[in-house]
Amino acid sequence: MQAEFAHELAQGYLRQRNRFALLAGVLGLTTLLGLGAAVTRDEHVVLVPVTAERITVSSGGIDAAYLELVTRDTALMLLNRAPESLDYWMTNILKLADPAAHGRLKAELVQIVEEQRGSDVSQAFVIGQMQVDPEALTSRVSGTLKTFVGAQVISSQERQFIFHWAKRGLSLSLAGFEQVPTQDEEQDQ
């Protein structure tokens, strides 16, 4: 009688073990399928609308409209500066910097800050044209760069700047920027 009872109890435990093994197998298979789907799909982030266009960033690439907006904001922040806001200016540009370019950008910005600190020289940039290349992660911005001493405009020149970007995951960061020399400057060299 005890043998029959023990056998019946063992059979119950075996059925329960088999159900748990089947459940574990289904959960493991579901997990593998979910991981496979997550690895093979492009990631998308819907950005807060600042234009009438729908803008997204995906792991597959940068949208040209997004690159244009980021370039516009960065160019205006970088090229509009006054002696009173130099520390804020440099801090916020460095927040956009790619980690690989952070040291080089900081050295360039510190040099500008040291030259401009204590002076009355300010500059303002008005964008006239912009071209973006999402594949090469570059942007070309043209416009008028005005230099002021106090309230007096001492220089107004057409200038062109190139911005280089780096993409890490879904993040876009500033890798570098440069001013394109004018034809007169190229002839002087």
Angle at 116 between CA 110 and CA 117, to 5 degrees: 85
Do 36 and 84 share a domain, yes or no?
no
80 is written with which tokens?
């509009």
pTM greater than 0.85: no
What is the rounded average pLDDT of the residues 148-161? 89
Mean pLDDT of the chain: 85
One-letter amino acid for residue 111 of the chain: Q
Q: Do 36 and 70 reside in the same domain of the chain?
A: no
pLDDT surpassing 60 at residue 49? no
**Tokens standing for residue 13:** 């435990």
Q: Rounded to whole angstroms, what are the CA distances from 84 to 7, 27, 77, 107, 120?
A: 88, 61, 14, 20, 9
| Whether 10 and 65 share a structural domain | no
My answer on whether 24 and 90 are in the same domain is no
Q: In this structure, are 37 and 62 located in the same domain?
A: no
**Whether 113 and 183 share a structural domain:** yes
Say how many domains are in the chain. 2
Q: What average pLDDT does this structure show over 48-66? A: 70
Nearest CA among 96, 87, 71, 89 for reference residue 175? 96
2 and 73 inside one domain: no
Distance in angstroms (rounded) separating the CA atoms of residues 177 and 57: 22
Residue 30 lies in a domain: yes
| The predicted structure's pLDDT at residue 2 | 81
Domain assignment present for 51: no
> Same structural domain for residues 92 and 1?
no
Q: Within this chain, do residues 62 and 110 fall inside the same structural domain, yes or no? A: yes
In a domain, 35, yes or no: yes
Its domain, for residue 129, covers 58-188
Of the given ranges (1-5, 79-83, 182-186), which has the lowest mean pLDDT? 182-186
Residue found under tokens 């690895």? 39
86, 2: one domain? no
Q: Are residues 66 and 30 in the same domain?
A: no
At 12, the pLDDT band (50, 70, 90 cuts) reads confident
- When mean pLDDT is compared over 16-20, 51-55, 148-152, the highest value belongs to 16-20
Give residue 106's pLDDT band: very low, low, confident or very high (50, 70, 90).
Answer: very high
Same domain, residue pair 30 and 82: no
Residues of the chain above pLDDT 90, percent: 40
| Residue 50 located in a structural domain | no
Quick check: 81 and 116 in contact, CB under 8 A?
yes
